[in-house]
Copies of this chain bind each other. A is one copy, B any other.
Amino acid sequence: MGGYENGDSPAAAAWEGGVILGVDGGTTSTVCVCLPAAMPPPEAPGSVAVLSRAIAGCSNRNSVGENAALETLEQVMMQALTMANTDRSAVVAVCLSVSGVNHPSDQQRMLDWICNLFPRNAKFYVENDAVAALASGTMGKLHGCVLIAGTGSIAYGVTEDGKVARAAGAGPVLGDWGGYGIAAQALTAVIKSHDGRGPQTNLTRDIIRKLEISSPDELIGWAYADPSWARIAALVPVVVSAAEDGDKVANTILHDAVQELAESVVAVVRRLTLCGEDGKDQFPLVLVGGVLEGNKKWDISGEVIKCISKVFPGVCPIRPEVEPAIGAALLASSHLRKESKLQNGS
């Protein structure tokens, strides 16, 4: 975690009228929520008081460049403040949880930038997007593991004493098994069935229909016409539906994905000993992302949990009821309370 302090910690009393900003910055969109700084720790998702919510475009620096990313972040934060009838002088803490921020040097550059936007004594936290996703499930407490399976996949864990570990999250060339991985396997199965290397599968009929092409030969042109991973990952519902209808090839692909996703969680939990020395302690597992959502007959997240619980029976699955931007804000709030207690106690 990259934390940064402009000056002395504000006294808890000074939080009256102050606000906290939580930002979830992604490649598709950026969301900023504004929460009252003086709120008590929320008991339940419904009890979070959100003053305002603003939305903007991409803030992944790897995608649009650093200047454009910072401009988007500033704009969405200022908009949230205006919508909450306040301004930058009221800001007590900000948590930026932004995709594409992985290295400590990335964190430091964002901290150096953000501390010039807000009051001297405000607190700033810069995290990668997995951290806000975890906090969105644990209501701001940084403990446990989060599994995100959207276009890519990542397992990310944090211990009570702040040790972190991750597995996967390296993109499809390096073995991620999110939506892109699942869909690429399905496309490969269609090609193999077509050229005689693989068994027949209904995926051929279903994918051809979905893409409105006339033959598997046209898949090659389709696949390389656009390098966007999300475009390929959008075929996951076709795979799930074929598996639900009993297609063997589609079922094998989903079972492989379940295995890979479960292994990434098991690796993180093992490295952090999140399950205690005897491997039986309870630990929260937050599940996020399109591949793990939905009320489908073929329940990918249910199967992943089954798989993990064979190794670590103490796994406690959580499906977040608040969005990652709120997770980021709760995280800032939780850090703030902890630091204030430390200061008051010292």
Q: Which of A170, A267, A271 has the most CB of B within 10 A?
A: A170
Any chain B CB within 8 A of the CB of A175? yes
Bound CA span A224–B176, Å:
14
The yes or no answer to A167 lying at the interface (CB within 8 A) is: yes
Contact status B263-A223, CB under 8 Å = no
Complex contact A219–B263 (CB within 8 A)? no
Q: Mark A185-213, 1 if CB is under 8 A from B, else 0.
A: 00110011001110000000000000000
When distances are taken between beta carbons in the complex, the residues of chain B under 8 Å from A174 are: 184, 187-188, 191, 219-220, 223
CB neighbours (8 Å) of A317 from chain B are none
| In the bound complex, CA of A102 to CA of B223 (Å) | 15
* A99 interface hit (Cβ, 8 Å): no
A168 & B197 in contact (Cβ 8 Å cutoff): yes
Q: Do A167 and B195 contact each other (CB < 8 Å), given the known contacts A174-B219, A232-B173? A: yes
Which residues of the partner chain B approach A102 to less than 8 Å between Cβ atoms? 220
* B270 touching A196, Cβ below 8 Å: yes
Tell whether, in the assembled complex, residue B196 and residue A173 are in contact, meaning their CB atoms are under 8 Å apart. no
Is the pair B192, A184 in contact by a Cβ cutoff of 8 Å? no
Q: What separation, in Å, do the CA atoms of A87 and B84 have in the docked complex?
A: 79
**Contact in complex: A167, B219 (CB < 8 Å):** no
Please tell me if the beta carbons of B223 and A173 are within 8 angstroms of each other in the complex.
yes
Decide: A191 and B170 in contact? CB cutoff 8 A: yes
A97 at the interface (CB under 8 A from B): no
Given A173-B187, A175-B188, A232-B173, CB of A227 within 8 Å of CB of B224: no
Interface pair B171/A224, CB less than 8 Å apart: yes
The answer to whether B173 and A184 have CB atoms under 8 Å apart is yes
Produce 1/0 per residue, A219-245, CB < 8 A to B: 110011001000010000000000000
Residues of B within 8 A of A191 (CB): 168, 170, 174-175
Q: A263–B174 Cα gap in the complex (Å)?
A: 24
Question: Would you mind naming 7 contact pairs between A and B with Cβ atoms under 8 Å apart?
Answer: A170-B188, A170-B223, A171-B223, A174-B187, A175-B191, A197-B264, A197-B267
